[in-house]
């Protein structure tokens, strides 16, 4: 059984901070679960273009608000507490946190992240060996 608290992650190597976001890696590849789970903050006013070519991701908003734009269709969807979206087709997208608030998201990745990934120039995470 794996039991962790967010306080155990903060300030460690599993607390990854980058421009526009901070991701606290709760479960990653070495846990052997077949997926990873992150508690992620999208910083206030951030606008992030991403394209997870190597991963599928499901995201559930637990705090704040913003929007996601599907770059294939141009459709923008509002995000607020209780919104879930799944990037089931490796969807290129822009994620925006509203200027007045951050967004806090629970993110599940398959295949699992190793724990230290940051986005490359295309907005993707590299696939681990």
Distance of CA 81 to the CA centre of its chain: 15
Q: What is the pLDDT of residues 21-60, one digit of tens each?
A: 999 999 999 999 999 999 999 999 999 999 888 889 999 9
> Do residues 120 and 61 lie in contact, with contact meaning Cβ atoms separated by under 8 Å?
no
> Do residues 68 and 86 lie in contact, with contact meaning Cβ atoms separated by under 8 Å?
no
pLDDT at 122: 56
Question: Would you list the domain boundaries of the chain?
Answer: 13-107
Q: What is the pLDDT of residues 69-110, one digit of tens each?
A: 999 999 999 999 999 999 999 999 999 999 999 999 999 999
Specify the CATH superfamily of domain 13-107: Jelly Rolls (2.60.120.10)
pLDDT at 26: 96
């Amino acid at each position: 059984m794996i039991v962790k608290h967010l306080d155990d992650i903060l300030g460690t190597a599993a607390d990854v901070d980058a421009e526009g976001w901070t991701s606290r890696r709760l479960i990653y590849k070495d846990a052997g679960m077949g997926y990873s789970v992150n508690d992620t903050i999208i910083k206030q006013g951030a606008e992030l273009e991403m394209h997870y070519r190597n991963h599928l991701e499901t995201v559930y908003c637990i705090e704040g608000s913003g929007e996601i734009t599907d770059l294939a269709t141009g459709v923008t969807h509002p995000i607020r507490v209780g919104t879930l979206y799944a990037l089931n087709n490796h969807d290129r997208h822009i994620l925006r946190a509203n200027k007045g608030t951050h967004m806090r998201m629970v993110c599940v990745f398959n295949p699992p992240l190793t724990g230290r990934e940051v986005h490359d120039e295309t907005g993707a995470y590299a696939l681990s060996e």
